[in-house]
Structures are given as C-alpha cells and as structure tokens.
C-alpha cells in the first residue's frame, strides 16, 4: 500500500513550519480549525491565530486589513464557504487591491462525502480563476501540497489553494519540485495528452498505465497551477499529441477543462475531452461511491482518451 | 403517546441515523429535540405538509438533519427504513435537508446563516398573501455569528413580522469549543431586543416553558419573537452532553447501545 495523506494535513503541518521561519504569517479560521488543520498552527502560535467564528465574510475582510498592515494572512474554512460565501470580499477587498491574503481552503469537491451537495464545492476554481490578480493552485498530493504552502507565501498577492478532505495517495518523492506557474510533465507519450490536477493526477497516471497495455502512449501533465497557466507546456504537449483529455474534481465549467480548452483554442486547436462533474450538484455518499457515480474514474479517463484520439 | 415519549423516540432516531451512517451531527440534533417535537406535534398548524396554508419550519442549522428526519419519522412522514439510508448514496435523506427530496422539509439548508433569511421571506410572503400561517426557524448559537442572521433579524423587525418566531438553540457550543470563547454572541436577549424583537429566555428542554413561550409569540403583535432556548448539547446521552467533540462525530456500536439505553432510562424517569 502506498502512503496516503489528506492534503489538508499537509497544509496544516507546512503552515506551522512556515510560521516558525516567517513571523509575518497570521492565520484565520472560521470555527473549523480542527478540520482545516490550522489548529496545528494555533497550538504553536496561539497569538497569531484568530478564530473569526462562523463569520467567513468578516474573516476575509479582517485578513485584508491585516495584509494592508504588512502581515501575510492565511485564511481557512471549507472551500464552499471560503470562495462562495466570501466572494465579494475576495474580489473587492483582496484581489482588486492586490492584498497579500492566502486563501487555503479545504474539503473541496465530491470527496467531502456524506455532508452532501451543500458542502461539496465544485465551482471554486471557476470563481477564483475569474478574478484578476489571483493565483490558483490545486496540489495533487502531500509532497506537492507542502511545497505549495511555502510557495504561496512567496507570491506577492492573493493565492487560492485547494485542499481535500480525504486521504490521497502520495505520488511524488522528495525530488519533486513544485513551481508556481509551471506544469509538470510526468510521463512522455505522443498519442494523447492527459492534463490533470488534484486527486485526479493519481488516476491519470493509472489510466496512462492501462492505455500503455493497449499500445496507447500518453503524456500525463500535472497542472497544479491553474492560473497563471503554463501555456508553453500545455501547447507543446497537446501539439505533440494532437488531442487531449482534462481531469478534475470540479465542474466542467470554469476549471481545468475551461482553461486548457481556452488556451488550446487560441493557440493550437486540437480536440479536448473532459473528465469533470457535468454541470450538476453532488450528493451524500462515500467519496469513492461519488467519484464512481459522477465519472471521476480511471475507466472514464481511458474512454475519454480514446474518444479524443478518434477525433484526431 | 405523550410528548416525552415522542422526544425519547426522536433521540433514539438521532442516535440510530448517525450510527448507521457513521457520519452526521448528534450533539446539536439532541439539543433541539424538545423544541422541534413540541413545535411539530402541538404548536404548529400542519393539516398536511403540502397545504399552502400550513405553518412553515426552517431548520437554519441544517446540520441537525437527524433531528428533523427523526421528528418526521414520528409524524409518520418517513419510515425507520428511510432513516437507515441517511447520508448514504442515492438517498433522499441528504446530509443536510433538501426540500425537493423530503416532504416536511420546507427549506433546503446546510450553509449556516441562510435559512433564517428564507424564513423571513416566507413570513413576508404570508403577509403579502394575507395568510395566517406562521413561520418558525431554529438557529444555532454559533450560527448567529453570521452577519446574514442579523440582516435577517433587522428585516423581520422592519417588516413587523409577528408571524415569525425564531428559536435560538443556545447550547453554548460550536465546533471549535464554547461560543463564548470562539466568538461571543452574548448578550443575545438584549441584542434581539435592540433589533426590535420580543425576546424570551426559556429552558429549552422544558415543554411547559417552551409552550408558554410559543403562546407568548402567537399573542405578540407587530413584531417578531425570539425564543432563546437554554439547552444542553448532546442532551440525554451522558457522554455526549456538553462535549463539543460530539458535534459532528458518530457513535460506534458500543456507544449506540449505551446511548439508547440511557435515553430509554431517561424517558421512564
Ligand atoms: C456558512 C457555514 N460555515 C461553516 C459551516 C460548518 N459548520 C457546520 S455546523 C457548525 C457549528 C455550528 O454551531 P452551532 O450553530 O452552535 O450549532 P449547534 O451547536 O446547535 O450544533 C459549523 C461551523 C457551515 N455549515 N456553514
Ligand atoms: Mg451551539
């Protein structure tokens, strides 16, 4: 069995380490510090941790004020509240003034599980990507998530980080290097480009192995930074393969499928198929059952890859 | 069956749903049992759940879905078999109540601080249509930290919504600990009064006190009523009482048996 860690755990641990080396880091939570794992930071630096209570909008506004006074606030809650509920504050009080607030949101996507549709955020990447000045990052595993936290602190301006609730396979070793705005080509093939982010990267790698057995060679690319998109790599790989599939635990609107298609339509038009949630809300259930029901599976990546190849 | 027996059955339903699902929110469901039992079995006028003139109930603290489903089972709207599907894939008993999936759920909820706004809208619609129905909404004491709650309260008083009665389940706890430690909403009664409400404080586990408060609300004209109900989170199960860690964790088999035993013993007191 490979090592399994939830990226929210990676966040909590890295945040605490970051707090040790950078005393400008302050942390806000909204009554979910146990779940978002900012409690780890709180334990080490109680005077730099603020619980806003169940008042997310105020949390975002307070963070903007802290940033205006030179602090680097990390704010956390569930992704659904940390993007949707506070959207206006993020737009008008954080992104427009380009304030140095880091939105580290957990429990994104269907893998929230039993809580159901109200808590399963599938539109966060769309909302955040649409905002000028915002950097949007969706890490794939523990190794990457930890590096993302450090990297976000170095970015001058707002950053949105998307973390998951459930344990995720650790796919990268300590030699892996995350860089903001850089997509990582994980496998080299010339039949199909598979662009993936978050928990779908591990599935894309498995699909790649299965496809290989059928003589189909895939380039799997981890697109952790959705914005700014690594257009050069995307165009290069899609151009070489002549077709592509995108894989994300997000709505088909406004996420990875949208940014990749947008990039390719304007630069290197090739067929692009999507493995994403098809314009619907989620529901209660176990994470794996939900991924299956909504088609976020290795099998679906394989079949979408074949459809894309057939369109070449 | 008397109210006390019904309340015990609702508590057992709450324990069974969360234990079967191995997920869900027992603590804040148990604290609201007397409130919702009395409302649905005595106070509210519900000829049927699709009667347009019925009284409405909005569970603004939507995570207490096992409470609402537990009461609806006692009302005969849901079955014990339905309750077993709680939070499982393809169920109508979603983790947070879905008005399009369950009869008796008047408003979809789960994102705190929104149900109360819809309740104000329902009360306003009732006034517009010159109907006599009343609207009840149950909120958490952590939930009232949301700004939208106070926007809703302001509107309720502004529009003289005497057909609205809000109940604050003042169990003193939220997820990260005591509401007074996390982000104090106190004093609640004085705030409600300043917002133009008729505000009363009661023991939220006393049918008598709650009954009197709901009567008081019905008789109050020209302004909405807020009932601040002093409750115990996890009420009826000793190891869950006043313990924030039972906000959102499910009992295991051993704990299920122990909890049901205590609830049944409590009902015979
Ligand atoms: C807008 C929003 N923020 C956060 C949450 C997560 N959440 C669910 S329950 C809860 C605590 C609620 O505490 P309280 O209102 O006191 O409820 P009770 O004690 O009655 O269970 C939180 C923070 C949510 N559902 N909605
Ligand atoms: Mg409470």
DSSP, collapsed to helix, strand or coil, labels residue A132 as coil
- For residues A53 and A201, membership in a common domain is answered with no
Query: What is the model's pLDDT at position A284?
Result: 98
Here the CATH number for the domain that contains residue B202 is 3.40.50.970
Here the CATH number for the domain that contains residue A46 is 3.40.50.970
Q: Which two tokens stand for residue A219?
A: 């380039």
Q: Give a yes or no: residue A282 inside a domain.
A: yes
Please, what's the largest Cα pairwise distance for chain A?
A: 59
Q: Which residue of B has its CA nearest to A51?
A: B182
Read off the pLDDT of residues A75-100 as tens digits, 9 standing for 90 and up. Answer: 999 999 999 999 999 999 999 999 99
Of the candidates B22, B66, B26, the residue with the CA atom closest to the CA atom of residue A285 = B22
Contact list, A55 vs chain B (CB under 8 Å)? 145-147, 183
Give whole-number Cα distances, A10 to A101, A139, A149, A276, B198, in Å: 19, 10, 9, 25, 48
Residue B157 distance to chain A (closest CA, Å): 22
DSSP, collapsed to helix, strand or coil, labels residue A134 as coil
Contact list, A36 vs chain B (CB under 8 Å)? none
Cβ of A163 below 6 Å from ligand 1: no
Helices (H), B108-231: 115-128, 147-158, 179-182, 188-194, 207-219
d(CA A295, CA A33): 31
- For residues A8 and A93, membership in a common domain is answered with yes
Q: Give a yes or no: residue A174 inside a domain.
A: no
Q: Known catalytic residues of A? A: 56
**Ligand number, closest to the Cα atom of B138:** 1
B247 CA: nearest ligand 1 atom: 21
Of the candidates A178, A111, A90, A101, the residue with the CA atom closest to the CA atom of residue A138 = A178
Here the CATH number for the domain that contains residue A295 is 3.40.50.920
d(CA A115, CA B87): 7
Range 31-50 of A in CB contact (< 8 A) with B: 31-35
d(CA B182, CA A14): 24
- For residues A70 and A191, membership in a common domain is answered with no
Q: Which of A34, A55, A113 sits opposite B183 (nearest CB)?
A: A55
ipTM above 0.95, yes or no: yes
Q: Give a yes or no: residue A100 inside a domain.
A: yes
- Number of structural domains (chain B) is 1
Interface of B with A (CB under 8 A): 21, 23-24, 62, 87-91, 93-96, 98, 108-113, 142-143, 145-147, 174-176, 179, 182-183
Asked if A113's CB is within 8 angstroms of B23's CB, the reply is: yes
Q: What's the CA-to-centroid distance between A197 and ligand 1, angstroms? A: 30
Task: Give CA B101 to chain center in angstroms.
Answer: 19
Q: What's the CA-to-centroid distance between B261 and ligand 1, angstroms? A: 28
Percent of chain A past pLDDT 70, that is, above it, reads 100
Confidence of residue B269 (pLDDT cuts 50, 70, 90): low
Asked if A80's CB is within 8 angstroms of B95's CB, the reply is: no
Asked if A31's CB is within 8 angstroms of B176's CB, the reply is: yes
Range 81-120 of A in CB contact (< 8 A) with B: 81, 85, 113-119
The residue whose two tokens read 């190794």 is A143
Contact list, B98 vs chain A (CB under 8 Å)? 116-117
- For residues A82 and A222, membership in a common domain is answered with no
Q: B211 is in which domain, residue-wise?
A: 3-267
- For residues A207 and A142, membership in a common domain is answered with no
Q: pTM for the full model?
A: 0.97
Q: What's the CA-to-centroid distance between B140 and ligand 2, angstroms? A: 5
**pLDDT at position A275 over 70:** yes
Q: Give a yes or no: residue A12 inside a domain.
A: yes
Kind of pairing between the strands at A49-51 and A184-185: unpaired
Contact list, A52 vs chain B (CB under 8 Å)? 183
Task: Give CA A97 to chain center in angstroms.
Answer: 24
- For residues A138 and A285, membership in a common domain is answered with no
**pLDDT at position A54 over 80:** yes
- For residues A127 and A204, membership in a common domain is answered with no
- For residues A80 and A206, membership in a common domain is answered with no
**pLDDT at position B267 over 90:** no
Q: Give a yes or no: residue A177 inside a domain.
A: no
**pLDDT at position A1 over 60:** no
The number of CA neighbours under 13 Å toward the Cβ of A299 is 5
Query: What is the model's pLDDT at position A190?
Result: 98
Q: Give a yes or no: residue A175 inside a domain.
A: no
Q: Give a yes or no: residue A176 inside a domain.
A: no
Q: Which of A32, A53, A285 sits opposite B89 (nearest CB)?
A: A285
- Number of structural domains (chain A) is 2
Of A169, A193, A218, which marks where a domain is finished? Answer: A169
Q: A303 is in which domain, residue-wise?
A: 184-310
B31 CA: nearest ligand 1 atom: 20
Q: Give a yes or no: residue A137 inside a domain.
A: yes
The residue whose two tokens read 């690319």 is A221
Give the pLDDT mean for B107-121.
98
Read off the pLDDT of residues A282-293 as tens digits, 9 standing for 90 and up. Answer: 999 999 999 999
Q: Which two tokens stand for residue B212?
A: 């009197």
Query: Average model confidence (pLDDT) for chain B?
Result: 98
Of A169, A202, A233, which marks where a domain is finished? Answer: A169
Contact list, B89 vs chain A (CB under 8 Å)? 283-286, 289-290, 293
Q: Which of B88, B95, B174 sits opposite A54 (nearest CB)?
A: B174
Of A113, A141, A169, which marks where a domain is finished? Answer: A169
- For residues A191 and A123, membership in a common domain is answered with no
- For residues A245 and A295, membership in a common domain is answered with yes
- For residues A20 and A164, membership in a common domain is answered with yes
A77 CA: nearest ligand 1 atom: 4
- For residues A13 and A121, membership in a common domain is answered with yes
Mutating to test ligand 1, I would choose from B31, B60, B62, B63 the residue with most ligand atoms within 8 A of its C-beta, which is B63
Percent of chain B past pLDDT 70, that is, above it, reads 99
CA–CA–CA angle A250, A93, A28 (5° rounding): 70
**Ligand number, closest to the Cα atom of A33:** 1
Of the candidates A96, A80, A64, A76, the residue with the CA atom closest to the CA atom of residue A34 = A76
B140 CA: nearest ligand 1 atom: 15
CA–CA–CA angle A15, A149, A157 (5° rounding): 115
């Amino acid at each position: 069995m490979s090592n399994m860690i939830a990226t929210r755990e990676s966040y909590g641990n890295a945040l605490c380490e970051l707090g040790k080396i950078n005393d400008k880091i302050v942390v806000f939570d909204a009554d979910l510090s146990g779940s978002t794992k900012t409690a780890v930071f709180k334990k080490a630096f109680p005077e730099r941790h603020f619980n806003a209570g169940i008042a997310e909008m105020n949390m975002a506004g307070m963070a903007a004020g802290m940033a205006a006074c030179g602090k680097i606030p990390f704010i956390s809650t569930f992704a659904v509240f940390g993007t949707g509920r506070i959207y206006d504050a993020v737009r008008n009080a954080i992104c427009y003034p380009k304030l140095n607030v880091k939105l580290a949101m957990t429990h994104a996507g269907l893998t929230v599980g039993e809580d159901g549709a109200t808590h399963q955020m599938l539109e966060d990447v769309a909302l955040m990507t649409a905002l000028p000045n915002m950097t949007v990052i969706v890490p794939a595993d523990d190794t990457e998530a930890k590096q993302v936290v450090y990297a976000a602190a170095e970015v001058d301006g707002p950053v949105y980080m998307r973390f998951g609730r459930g344990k995720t396979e650790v796919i990268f070793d300590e030699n892996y290097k995350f860089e903001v705005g850089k997509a990582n080509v994980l496998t080299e093939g010339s039949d199909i480009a598979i662009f993936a982010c978050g928990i779908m990267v591990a599935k894309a790698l498995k699909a790649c192995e299965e496809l290989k057995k059928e003589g189909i060679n895939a380039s799997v690319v981890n697109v952790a930074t959705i914005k700014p998109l690594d257009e050069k790599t995307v165009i290069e790989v899609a151009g070489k393969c002549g077709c592509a599939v995108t894989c994300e635990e997000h709505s088909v609107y406004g996420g990875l499928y949208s940014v990749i298609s947008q990039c390719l339509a304007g630069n290197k038009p090739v067929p692009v198929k999507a493995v994403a949630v098809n314009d619907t809300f989620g529901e209660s259930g176990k994470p794996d059952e939900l991924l299956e029901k909504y088609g976020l599976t290795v099998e679906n990546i394989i079949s979408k890859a074949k459809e894309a190849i057939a369109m070449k | 069956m008397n109210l006390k027996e019904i309340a015990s059955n609702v508590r057992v339903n709450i324990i069974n749903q969360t234990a079967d699902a191995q997920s869900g929110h027992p603590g804040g469901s148990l604290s609201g049992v007397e409130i919702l039992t009395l409302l649905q079995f005595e106070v509210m006028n519900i000829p049927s759940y699709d009667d347009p003139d019925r009284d409405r109930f909005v569970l603004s603290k939507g995570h207490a879905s096992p409470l609402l489903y537990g009461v609806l089972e006692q009302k005969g709207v849901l079955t014990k078999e339905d309750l077993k599907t709680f939070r499982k894939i393809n169920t109508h008993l979603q983790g947070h109540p879905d008005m399009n999936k369950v009869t008796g759920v008047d408003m979809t909820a789960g994102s705190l601080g929104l149900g109360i706004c819809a309740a104000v809208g329902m009360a306003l619609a009732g006034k517009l249509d010159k109907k006599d129905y009343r609207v009840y909404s149950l909120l958490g004491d952590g939930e009232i930290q949301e700004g939208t709650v106070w926007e809703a309260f302001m509107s309720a008083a502004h529009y003289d919504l005497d057909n609205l009665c809000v109940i604050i389940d003042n169990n003193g706890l939220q997820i990260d600990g005591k509401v007074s430690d996390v982000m104090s909403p106190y004093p609640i009664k004085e705030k409600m009064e300043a917002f133009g409400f008729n505000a009363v404080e009661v023991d939220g586990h006393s049918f008598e006190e709650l009954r009197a408060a709901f009567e008081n609300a019905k008789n109050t004209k020209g302004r909405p009523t807020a009932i601040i109900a002093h409750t115990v989170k996890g009420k009826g199960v000793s190891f869950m009482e006043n313990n924030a860690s039972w906000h959102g964790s499910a009992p295991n088999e051993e704990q299920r048996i122990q909890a049901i035993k205590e609830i049944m013993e409590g009902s015979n007191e």
